[in-house]
Amino acid sequence: MQPATGKLGVLCVGLGAVSTTLISGVLALRKGYGLPGGSVTQMAKVRVGRGKDRQYLPVSELVPLASTDDIVFGAWDIFPQNAYEAARCAGVLQPDDLEQIHAELEQIRPMAAAFDPDYVTRLAGQGGNVKQGTRRGLTESLRADIKRFREENGCSRIVVIWAASTEKLIDYSPAAHESLAAFEASLDSDDRATISPSMCYAYAALREGVPFVMGAPNLCIDIPAMWELADTERVPIAGKDFKTGQTLMKTVLAPMLRTRCLGLDGWFSTNILGNRDGEVLDAPENFRTKEVSKLGVIDTILAPNEQPELYGDIYHKVRINYYPPRGDNKESWDNLDIFGWMGRKYGMQIKVNFLCRDSILAAPVALDLVLCIDLAARAGLYGNQPWLAFFLKSPMHNEWHGEQPLHDLFQQYTVLKNKLRELGGYEPDEELE
Quick one: 392 and 367 in the same domain?
Answer: yes
On the CB side of 43, CA atoms within 13 Å amount to 12
Is residue 254 included in any domain, yes or no?
Answer: yes
Q: pLDDT digit string (tens) for 141-172?
A: 999 999 999 999 999 999 999 999 999 999 99
pLDDT value at residue 289: 73
- Alpha-carbon distance of 271 to 250, in angstroms, equals 14
Quick one: 235 and 317 in the same domain?
Answer: no
Is residue 1 included in any domain, yes or no?
Answer: no
How far, in Å, are 253, 258, 316, 339 from residue 343 at the CA level?
20, 15, 20, 6
Quick one: 181 and 294 in the same domain?
Answer: no
Is residue 430 included in any domain, yes or no?
Answer: no
Q: Give the end of a domain, one of 327, 356, 385.
A: 356
Is residue 27 included in any domain, yes or no?
Answer: yes
How far, in Å, are 70, 144, 272, 372, 406 from residue 151 at the CA level?
15, 11, 43, 23, 39
How many Cβ atoms sit within 10 Å of the Cβ of residue 10?
A: 27
Interacting residues of 314 by C-beta distance below 8 A, sequence separation 6+: 264, 265, 266, 267, 298, 299, 302, 304
Is residue 210 included in any domain, yes or no?
Answer: yes
On the CB side of 381, CA atoms within 13 Å amount to 20
Interacting residues of 343 by C-beta distance below 8 A, sequence separation 6+: 263
Residue 13 corresponds to which amino acid? V
How many Cβ atoms sit within 10 Å of the Cβ of residue 380?
A: 10
- Alpha-carbon distance of 205 to 157, in angstroms, equals 12
Query: Is the peptide bond between 131 and the residue preceding it cis, with omega within 30 degrees of 0?
Result: no
pLDDT value at residue 293: 66
Q: pLDDT digit string (tens) for 339-387?
A: 999 999 999 999 999 999 999 999 999 999 999 999 999 999 999 999 9
pLDDT value at residue 433: 40
Quick one: 38 and 107 in the same domain?
Answer: yes
pTM of the model: 0.94
Quick one: 167 and 106 in the same domain?
Answer: yes
Q: Give the end of a domain, one of 356, 380, 409.
A: 356
Interacting residues of 39 by C-beta distance below 8 A, sequence separation 6+: 364, 367, 368
Quick one: 166 and 56 in the same domain?
Answer: yes
Quick one: 374 and 302 in the same domain?
Answer: no
Quick one: 310 and 393 in the same domain?
Answer: no
Q: pLDDT digit string (tens) for 387-426?
A: 999 999 999 988 777 788 899 999 999 999 999 999 999 9
Q: Cβ(274)–Cβ(328) under 8 Å?
A: yes
Q: Cβ(113)–Cβ(78) under 8 Å?
A: yes
How many Cβ atoms sit within 10 Å of the Cβ of residue 169?
A: 19
Measured in whole angstroms, the distance separating CA 263 from the mean position of its chain's CA atoms is 30
How far, in Å, are 6, 39, 273 from residue 327 at the CA level?
37, 23, 6
Quick one: 267 and 198 in the same domain?
Answer: no
- Alpha-carbon distance of 58 to 60, in angstroms, equals 5
* Cross-strand partners of 357: 329
Which of 333, 328, 247 has the alpha carbon at shortest distance from 290?
247
How many Cβ atoms sit within 10 Å of the Cβ of residue 127?
A: 16
pLDDT value at residue 167: 95
Q: Is the predicted pLDDT of residue 432 greater than 50, yes or no?
A: no
- Alpha-carbon distance of 134 to 167, in angstroms, equals 18
How far, in Å, are 18, 26, 61, 65, 94 from residue 32 at the CA level?
21, 10, 20, 20, 17
Q: Work out the percent of the chain whose per-residue pLDDT is above 90.
A: 85
Q: Is the predicted pLDDT of residue 431 greater than 70, yes or no?
A: no
Q: Give the end of a domain, one of 356, 384, 413.
A: 356
Is residue 419 included in any domain, yes or no?
Answer: yes
Q: Is the predicted pLDDT of residue 273 greater than 90, yes or no?
A: no
Which of 433, 424, 332, 398 has the alpha carbon at shortest distance from 49?
424
Quick one: 121 and 11 in the same domain?
Answer: yes
Quick one: 394 and 265 in the same domain?
Answer: no
Is residue 431 included in any domain, yes or no?
Answer: no
Q: Cβ(220)–Cβ(226) under 8 Å?
A: yes
CATH number at residue 304: 3.30.360.10
Quick one: 85 and 165 in the same domain?
Answer: yes
* Cross-strand partners of 336: 267, 350
The residue length of the chain stands at: 433
How far, in Å, are 195, 309, 360, 410 from residue 242 at the CA level?
22, 32, 12, 17
| Per-residue confidence band for 294, with pLDDT thresholds at 50, 70 and 90 | low
Which of 235, 229, 226 has the alpha carbon at shortest distance from 198?
226
pLDDT value at residue 428: 87
Domain residues for the domain of 327 are 246-356
CATH number at residue 232: 3.40.50.720
- Alpha-carbon distance of 85 to 105, in angstroms, equals 8
Average per-residue pLDDT in the chain? Answer: 94
Is residue 34 included in any domain, yes or no?
Answer: yes
SS (H, E, C) 58-90: EHHHHCCCCCHHHEEEEEEECCCCCHHHHHHHH
